[in-house]
Amino acid sequence: MEFKYINTEYLEMVAGGDFDLLKELIGMFRDQVFEFNTELKELYGQYDYKALGNLAHKAKSSVAIMGMDSLANMLKTFELEAKDGRNSEKYESYLIRFENDTMHALEELDELVKSREL
């Protein structure tokens, strides 16, 4: 399978080749993604842009560990813009992309685990 959203080589390096650690990292990422998606939408709906920027910063670290460099870069932009309250017309598209990319990443991560368990 070709992975479009995650970087398997980077993940293997982070896990040091330890499959149990890899599964643990994926489990933590899964939990965080659902929390981030919920909280990002809530903060956006409350127009709490400073908190939105702070959460984008946290989310950036999580996706970076999965090797999702493009999404991490977008979250960096989102973080800086939200903290300054700039370009708020873009925030919804950032939230949509975050949710879309992370959901696809979770599917790929499930495939990665399945392929290693065989």
**Predicted local distance difference test score (pLDDT) of residue 71:** 98
Count of positions (residues) in the chain = 118
**Predicted local distance difference test score (pLDDT) of residue 118:** 66
d(CA 36, CA 57): 11
d(CA 32, CA 81): 22
Whether residue 65 contacts residue 29, with contact meaning beta carbons closer than 8 Å, is answered with: yes
2: tokens are: 């070709």
Predicted confidence pLDDT, tens digits, the chain (118 residues): 789 999 999 999 999 989 999 999 999 999 999 999 999 999 999 999 999 999 999 999 999 999 999 999 999 999 999 999 999 999 999 999 999 999 999 999 999 999 988 6
Q: Is the Cα torsion angle 64, 8, 5, 102 positive or negative in sign?
A: negative
